[in-house]
Structure 1
Amino acid sequence: MSRRKKGRKTNILLGIICILLVGVLGSILVISRQAEQKESQRLTELADGQQSGIEDYEAVKEHAEELQKTASEEDETADSDNNTAEKSKKDKDTEAADSTDNTENEETRTISGVVCWGDDLLNGAESDTYSYMAVLQKLLTDNGYNLTVVNKTLQGGGTLSMMKMAGVSDETLQGYIAKHQQAANGAQLNVTETGIRDLTEEQTTRNDMDCIPVIFMGYYGGWNHDPAELAEQQEQILNTFQNKDQFIVVGTRPLDGTVTSEALDAALSQKWGEHYISLASVTAQPSATYEAQQAMAEAILQKLQDLGYISKAQ
């Protein structure tokens, strides 16, 4: 073989090898390209999955927070309802307790007697036997009422002294005196219109706070001949009692005749309504007679019964 032919074969062999290497390299590039595409696709899908997971997580988290908020609001509402219900129950219990206490107080309130405030028109032994107080005590006892009649009257005393005995302030008393002196305009006034009697400790001691007051005052003056002022002074004494709802007021014209029975009764009946007894309406006798005192005692007993102040169970 010639040298030329031998070189040609070598060249052909090298060309074939080059072609094969190019093919192998191309295959490798194609495979690598496909692998890269697959990896890229996988990474994209993974990234999308992660983003979806994050979004799902955020949605779930948001939903959970809403549920928690709703549950909290429901708990607060339930607590509020429970508190309201509990408060309502406590209020009802308190009202029931107060009602029970009031009922018990009304049931257990004891009335030890009847106290007579004001004028005593009879003296000494006469008073002990024939005054309306003595007669009223006998009537109560005879009718089965276990009640004592307490005497808080002043013989010949004016209404200013009676108010002092009840504990009305000196300032109030001096106000009445100044009013009387101004109205008199320098004229001479009866001593009861400006003077206040000296009283003993026994007279000013209150032992009648659990009694029903019967106020019979004004016969000897002290109220400037004005029925409206007399009613005001009666109220001053009434206000010193703890229980101001149970009382009786008896009216009679004054000793000096400056005010008629009709004028006095008109003012006092308007002021006191069903609590008022007009002595002129139950007797035609003068106030200081035994007959008038008897009639007044009977009228007071009847009024005590009519108003439901006393019962034989006491």
Structure 2
Amino acid sequence: MSKIRKKKIKKTNILLGFICILLAVLLGFILVTSYKSEQKESRHLSEIADDQQSGIEDYEAVKERAKELEEISSEEAEDTEDIKSKNTKDTKDTKDTEKTDTADTEDADKTEDTKDKTTAASGIVCWGDDLINGEESNTYSYMTVLQKLLTDNGYNMTVINKTLQGGGTLSMMKMAGVSDETIQSYITKHQQAANGAQLNVTETGIRDLTEEQTTRNDMDCIPVIFMGYYGGWNHDPAELADQQEQILNTFQNKDQFIVVGTRPMDGSVTSEALDQVLSQKWGEHYISLADVTAQPSSTYEAQQAMAEAILQKLQELDYISKN
């Protein structure tokens, strides 16, 4: 064998030896690393096992504690139920008391509201007929006397005149703004009841009214209704009361009003028959002129008596107050 060939074989053996050493080192490294990983995983699994065991022990302790608390709660529940029953009764009694107090407060508020509404009224307005003709009405009518009585007694209230001299109740409703349909229903009823007989013009006719007469500047006032003397209600006091209500319904405050009643001029209905129906309809708001004076309603004495009766009624109903 030549020297050159021997040198090549020697180099090859050296290279193989070196490779074997490298492989041995690499294998050793892998084995060491694997061993360390297994040790680490073993420790981790051991810790988990310890934690689970501890958790089981804790769970058993918690379960036992819960059972003890449940027994204590059962014993306390009975006492709590008794206390709750007593508290419920006390609460009911308290609510009943509060309800009574609330009702009293609401009643007081309503009374206060009524006083406010009375104070808010801008004046007193008289509807109907003053029963005195011509210039005498400026001095002796109940409206003039009422204004003087109010002023003399310290009441700062203005009396507004919305009377219609010699007019029937149909014309008064028209002046107040009651609908034509409603007024016509009364006229139709009168014609049907007459059965062809001649009717007084106030039972079927409506007076021509000026713009000044139909303009309302009194809807926040306290109305005094004096109507029916000249007819327009078919001699039926119940219908007269209904027509009075039609006018009252045009006012803002429908709770404050006065109605004065006197028998009709033609004597078709007596004072007693009229008062029986109207006093039942209007109650404390009603004034019977027959109870106030024995004088004819067109006399000065009757006008004075009527004004005094209206002032007294305003005071009785607490509609007016002194400033």
Letter in 2 for 1:140: L
Match of 1:255 in 2: 265
Q: Tell me how far apart the structure 2 counterparts of residues 147 and 227 of structure 1 sit (CA, whole Å).
A: 31
Letter in 2 for 1:215: I
User: Matches of residues 87-106 of structure 1 in structure 2 within 5 Å?
Assistant: 103=112, 106=115
Q: Tell me how far apart the structure 2 counterparts of residues 192 and 238 of structure 1 sit (CA, whole Å).
A: 20
1:143 positional shift? 1.4
1:107 aligns with 2:116: yes
1:157 aligns with 2:183: no
1:106 positional shift? 4.0
Q: Deviations over 1:250-299 (max 9, x none)?
A: 00010111101111111111111111111111111111111111111111
Q: Deviations over 1:7-42 (max 9, x none)?
A: xxxxxxxxxxxxxxxxxxxxxxxxxxxxxxxxxxxx
1:115 positional shift? 0.5
TM-score by length of 1: 0.68
Alignment RMSD (CA, Å): 3.4
Match of 1:139 in 2: 149
Letter in 1 for 2:236: D
1:243 aligns with 2:253: yes
Aligned pair partner of 2:224 in 205, 209, 214: 214
Distance change (3 Å), C-alpha of 1:50 and 1:159: same
Q: Deviations over 1:225-249 (max 9, x none)?
A: 0001101111111111111111111
Letter in 2 for 1:270: Q
1:59 positional shift? 7.2
Distance change (3 Å), C-alpha of 1:56 and 1:217: same
Give the SS at the match of 1:222: coil
Q: Tell me how far apart the structure 2 counterparts of residues 169 and 140 of structure 1 sit (CA, whole Å).
A: 34
1:226 aligns with 2:209: no
1:206 positional shift? 1.2
Deviates more, 1:115-124 or 1:259-268: 115-124
1:58 positional shift? 12
Letter in 2 for 1:119: D
Q: Tell me how far apart the structure 2 counterparts of residues 257 and 124 of structure 1 sit (CA, whole Å).
A: 24
Q: Percent identity?
A: 78
Give the SS at the match of 1:249: strand
1:285 aligns with 2:295: yes
Q: Tell me how far apart the structure 1 counterparts of residues 59 and 220 of structure 2 sit (CA, whole Å).
A: 84
Q: Tell me how far apart the structure 2 counterparts of residues 123 and 260 of structure 1 sit (CA, whole Å).
A: 24
Letter in 2 for 1:111: A
Letter in 2 for 1:275: H
Deviates more, 1:175-184 or 1:201-210: 201-210
Match of 1:130 in 2: 140
1:149 positional shift? 0.7
Q: Could you tell me which runs of 5 or more consecutive residues in structure 1 were left unpaired when the two chains were aligned.
A: 1-44, 64-95
Aligned length: 241
Q: Tell me how far apart the structure 2 counterparts of residues 119 and 220 of structure 1 sit (CA, whole Å).
A: 9
1:107 positional shift? 3.1
Q: Tell me how far apart the structure 1 counterparts of residues 169 and 114 of structure 2 sit (CA, whole Å).
A: 34
Q: Tell me how far apart the structure 2 counterparts of residues 252 and 288 of structure 1 sit (CA, whole Å).
A: 11
Match of 2:23 in 1: none
